[in-house]
Amino acid sequence: MANADRVRVRGLSIARPIVYGNSARLLTSEERENVPPEHTHRWTVALRSAASAPGSDIVGGADDLSYFIKRVSFKLHETYPNPMRNIDKPPFELSETGWGEFEVHIKLHFIPESGEKVITIYHHLKLHPWSLSGDTESIPPLEVAQKAGTVHSWQYEEIVFNDPYQNFLNILTNNPPTPIPRTNTSGRTIPFHIGNPASFESLKGGVPEFTSLLEKDEAERLDKAKKLIIAEQEKTRALLIAKEKELARLQKMLNG
Ligand code: SLL
């Protein structure tokens, strides 16, 4: 790399929106003949661009992310043979069959020009339409799962690069991400809660899609939550001060 490319552009941040998560569905009886008898589901775990391709029935994935991502590794539960699965070209996804939910460790390796370290994200692989059965403790009955169809659990995230190398910045700016639509193109609203993939699932009538309006809603929700926390902190602090005063008063009394 030329020296000029190794210069960091200080004070600049550039982000790329992604989605990660999984979809899952029950295996058909024919499919079950060709897998271990305890396997009940086929699932796909993926890391994709946030925008969905027009008319596509997959969540995200409008853009090929290999201009900045070199490898995505998915570390599966150790009940799987060779649990470390490296995907070195797009689409960065992996399909398997299985019977249980577990935490997938997703490691993003960026292109060498980035000079960026590996990022690890965690995704709880979801197979069951938990919230549909109203019982979040036990696995929903088969009829509920059959009715739910494909289960989705996806998270929106932005990968932020701070002080990027000039060369890497050029690569990024030459590959602008497809903007996510402002509102859902299918006209459906989606409950979208960062950190709560369970609420973003099993949408009847189509495939979930991330939109900037949802992002705005989420930002407002976070803002409200923050204000609430600050108010709570103030209350607790006032209480603490009162208790300390009380303590000082009692100590004084005790000391005569
Ligand atoms: C559970 N903690 O007990 C989880 C573990 C592991 C799921 C789930 C594959 C197995 C195989 C598979 O579905 N593992 O290939 O035999 O629910």
The predicted-structure confidence for 150-194, as pLDDT tens digits, reads as follows: 888 999 999 999 999 999 999 999 999 999 887 766 544 444 433
Q: What are the CA-CA distances from residue 167 to residues 4, 50, 64, 126 (Å)? A: 8, 24, 19, 39
Would you give the distance in Å from CA 99 to the centre of its chain?
22
* Pairwise CA distance, residues 20 & 68, whole Å: 16
| DSSP tag of 147 | H
- 145, 129 contact by CB (below 8 A): yes
Q: Per-residue pLDDT averaged across 37-65, rounded?
A: 94
Tokens 């019982």 belong to residue: 135
Helix (H) or strand (E) holding 168: helix 166-173
Amino acid (1-letter code) at residue 244 = E
CA–centroid distance, 190 to ligand 1, in Å, is 29
Q: Per-residue pLDDT averaged across 205-232, rounded?
A: 80
Ligand 1 binding pocket, CB closer than 6 Å:
36, 77, 79-80, 98-102
Q: What are the CA-CA distances from residue 150 to residues 108, 128, 136 (Å)? A: 26, 9, 18
Task: From 38, 42, 77, give the residue whose CB has the most ligand 1 atoms within 8 Å, as the site to mutate.
Answer: 77
The token pair at 31 is 């499919």
pLDDT, tens digit, 9 for 90 and up, residues 115-141? 999 999 999 999 998 877 777 778 888
Q: Per-residue pLDDT averaged across 42-63, rounded?
A: 93
Q: What is the torsional sign of CA 114, 116, 118, 122?
A: negative
Nearest CA to ligand 1 atom 15: 80
Q: Per-residue pLDDT averaged across 62-84, rounded?
A: 98
